[in-house]
Structure 1
Amino acid sequence: MELELRHLRTVRAIADAGSLTRAATALGLAQPALSAQLKRIERALGGELFERGRHGVRATALGELVLERTRIVLPAVTELQQEAARFARTPRASACLRLGGTHGPLLGALVDRLADAVPDARVTTCTSWSERQLADQLAEGRLDFALAGTCGSAAPPGAEGLVWREIAVDPVFVMLPEGHARATAPEIALSELADEEWACVPGDGCFGDCFTAACARAGFTPHRMYETDTSSLVHLVQVGRAIGLCRATFPAAPGIVTRPLSGTPLAWRHLLGWHAGTPDADTAATVLAQARAAHTRVAARSDSYTAWLAAHRGS
């Protein structure tokens, strides 16, 4: 019998379970079938891998040697499979750029910039409220680049092998109906909104906790928070149901205004991510440069953000 990867996984499962009975259950096998398979593996390797006892199994010296090799071989094979899947899903030239992003104006602005910067490329997009989901899609080779973000200085979304570069850091603004008592104020203290209900777009990170902490520092506990999609968030603000939390680059919408919070208690860091082994360096540099330029253009279209930048330039 030739040794196969499935045999190494079986040996690993027996060692992890500590007994043939538990290993058989984990592998979905009958114990006699697992025992017979282990004997065939031991014959192929030239000796016993486990000592059987009343309280389970314990690896022999040969078993320890084999297990040590499985700790190297099995992860390496898994990594190979993942890299192969990414390679198979990745266009072999700049014929297609697959972009992912959280909801907001930056993704559309980046697509617009890339249309001029890389005119021969076909650009596709995928949106998600989940930064972790976008990170997973990068790791699996289903996206080439992803626009995501973090609250303040929090770590970027996980997934091994990903590269994240900062595009810009924005203050978090509040979104008010035009008729709100504070709608014309240049800046608003968070404490002035203590009696309001709130709305924001959901996310995986710590933004909700950071908002609650900022409210506590301002001397109050926020009332109800609606976590919903962008269109519903705008509607809730328009009808006066809630105050919205948004990035400073959020575009104007009928019946609402966006205003900065005094002291900038919350910030949002825009990031561009990709897998280290997928796009070439020139493509990554091009997309990053265009993402930064797209952010500048989006920021310039917001009167409230432009005024805030002018007031805080150099601070």
Structure 2
Amino acid sequence: MNYQIILDVDLEIRHLRMISALAETGSVTRAAARLGLSQPAITNQLHQVESVVGGELFVRSRSGVEPTPLGRQVVARARIVLSEVDALFGDLRLSTGPAGVLRLGSVHLACVASIVGRMGEALPGSEISLRIEPSTVLLAEALTRGHLDAALLGVIEGFDVTLAAPVVSRTLVPRYPIFVALSAAHPLAGEEEIRLADLKDEAWISPPGADDGSLAALRASCRAAGFEPRVLYDAPSGAARPLVVEGRGVRLVDPSWPPAPGTVVRPLAGEPQVARLVVAWRRDRLSGEEAAALYRGLADAYSDHVDGNPAFSRWWHTHPEVHPLT
């Protein structure tokens, strides 16, 4: 069905940001946290927008909220407007931070332990500040608005993240598989790889950064394997560890993390989920030479940790085609 959307002049930029946040997070709670608003305020704004466009934009689902067909069209147009607004006024609002400080962001990877040191080697004389954030969407927004100078982003296959000028990017690792973490006492813990279908009766912990598409990708992968995952827990990366240790749930993880005590991290048979790593930076903050040094520093930091998980180390060393091009 095709919808003709007529936007009333009463709509404001804040309404478009709210619609976009709801679509990206899939949750009123997470959208409210991202925007610094209360949940009732989000709900009231949504009702205002729906009254303007003349239809329901989101419906509740088992995992939160999902856009309706009309909602998908409104979200797509809202993103176009927001991209143009950010490109138009981003440089005027840009806060460059203290001179000599590189404001760097990264998704939550094992290599964050090495990033500051490696970047100090790559860009001697620069002080490195680091923001660790599970959400690539939030890091991309921070880059666009000038709150970060560069970032290491993780992108789930099939869920691209929009980067608006003057942000540019270069792929660091074009493809790597997502692994699963389970209790060391789990009956499947001794297997070298695990079939996703064999986890159909497990309780799942929602992936961090679910607004990036990781939760949607989990559901799609499980459905392709013949079951609907029971996502019972929503916890930041570190907070989920006790649940895994005690066998309360399983979770998808970045493969470079070494297994925590009491857990094992195993590859999934057939690689049902893959991701890539992208280095992004602002051209108005880093020169071409500095961007090249940024890439080398992040490549070295990532390479420092690929042997932390023996299962991933085996995969990595048999796939030289995905290694960073330094």
Q: Same fold, TM exceeding 0.5?
A: yes
Secondary structure class of the residue paired with 2:256: coil
CA offsets per residue over residues 10-31 of structure 1, 9 Å max, x none?
Answer: xxxxxx85xxxx89xxxxxxxx
In the other structure, the counterpart of 1:243 is: 250
Tell me the amino acid that sits aligned with residue 263 of structure 1: G
2:180 to 174, 183, 196: 174
TM-score, normalised to structure 2, is 0.67
Two-structure CA RMSD over aligned residues (Å): 2.7
**Equivalent in the alignment of 1:63:** none
Secondary structure, aligned partner of 1:213: helix
Alpha-carbon offset, residue 253 of structure 1: 1.2
Q: TM-score, normalised by structure 1?
A: 0.69
Amino acid at match of 1:182: L
Contact 2:106 2:152 in 1 (8 A): yes
Distance 1:214 1:285, change over 3 A: same
Consecutive unaligned residues in structure 2, runs of 5 or more: 1-7, 12-82
Give how far 1:77 is off: 10
Aligned length: 242
Counting only pairs closer than 5 Å after superposition, residues 85-124 of structure 1 correspond to structure 2 as 85-86=93-94, 88-92=95-99, 95-124=100-129
Deviation at 1:221, TM superposition (A): 1.1
After TM superposition, the structure 1 = structure 2 runs for residues 141-156 of structure 1, keeping only pairs within 5 Å, are: 141-156=146-161
Which residue of the other structure, out of 119, 127, 130, is the alignment partner of 1:125?
130
Selected match of 1:268 from 260, 268, 275 = 275
CA distance, structure 2, for counterparts of residue 312 and residue 282 of structure 1: 29
Q: 1:235 to 1:266 in 2, by over 3 A?
A: same
2:298 aligns with one of 269, 274, 291 = 291
Maintained 8 Å contact 2:169/2:278: yes
- Does 1:187 find its partner at 2:188? no
- Structure 2 residue identity aligned to 1:176: L
Provide closer, same or farther for how the CA distance between residues 153 and 80 of structure 1 changes in structure 2, counting only shifts above 3 A: closer
Counterpart amino acid of 1:268?
Answer: A
Using the alignment, how far apart are the partners of 1:197 and 1:129 within structure 2? 21
Q: What residue identity is the alignment partner of 2:212?
A: G
| Alpha carbons of structure 1 residues 212 and 107: separation in structure 2 relative to 1, 3 Å | same
Aligned ranges for residues 1-315 of structure 1 at < 5 Å? Answer: 17=9, 81-86=89-94, 88-92=95-99, 95-168=100-173, 169-199=175-205, 200-310=207-317
Q: CA deviation at 1:193?
A: 0.8
Aligned to 1:8: none
Asked whether the 8 Å contact 2:257–2:308 carries over to 1, the reply is no
Q: Is the 8 A contact 1:247 1:268 kept in 2?
A: no
- What code does the residue aligned with 1:145 have? A
| 1:164-207 CA-partner distances (Å, limit 9, x unpaired) | 22111220000011111111111111011111011121332222
Letter in 2 for 1:193: L
Matched AA of 1:203? A
Would you say the 8 A contact 1:131–1:203 is kept in 2?
no
| TM superposition shift of 1:305 | 0.5
Change (3 A) 1:180 1:98: same
Matching residue's letter, 2:202: E
Quick one: structure 1 residues 239 and 280, their matched pair in 2 at CA, closer, same or farther if it must change by over 3 Å? same
Mean CA deviation greater in 213-222 or 253-262:
213-222
TM superposition shift of 1:107: 2.6
SS at match of 1:270: strand
Q: Is the 2:143–2:151 contact (alpha carbons within 8 Å) kept by the matching residues of 1?
A: yes
**Partner of 2:4 in structure 1?**
none
Any conservation in 1 of the 2:179–2:268 contact (CA below 8 Å)? Answer: yes
For the residue of structure 2 that corresponds to 1:279, the secondary structure is coil
Cα deviation, residue 156, structure 1 = 2.6
Do the aligned residues in 2 keep the contact of 1:170 with 1:247 (CA within 8 Å)?
no
Judged with a 3 Å threshold, the aligned counterparts in structure 2 of structure 1 residues 197 and 312 are, in CA distance, closer, same or farther, namely: farther
Which residue identity lines up with residue 305 of structure 1 in the other structure?
A: F
Q: Distance in 2 between matches of 1:147 and 1:205?
A: 14
CA positional deviation for 1:276: 2.8
Q: Which moved more, 1:190-199 or 1:270-279?
A: 270-279
- Comparing 201-210 with 262-271, greater Cα deviation is found at 201-210
SS in structure 2 of the partner of residue 89 of structure 1? coil
Query: Is the 8 Å Cα contact of residues 201 and 233 (structure 1) preserved in structure 2?
Result: no
Contact 1:260-1:308 at 8 Å conserved across structures: no
Please tell me the residue identity of whatever aligns with 1:196. E
Deviation (angstroms), 1:106: 2.6
Of all paired residues, the percent bearing the same amino acid is 29
Partner of 1:49: none
Q: What amino acid is aligned across from residue 295 of structure 1 in structure 2?
A: Y
**Residue type of the alignment partner of 2:93:** A
Question: Secondary structure in 2 aligned to 1:125?
Answer: strand
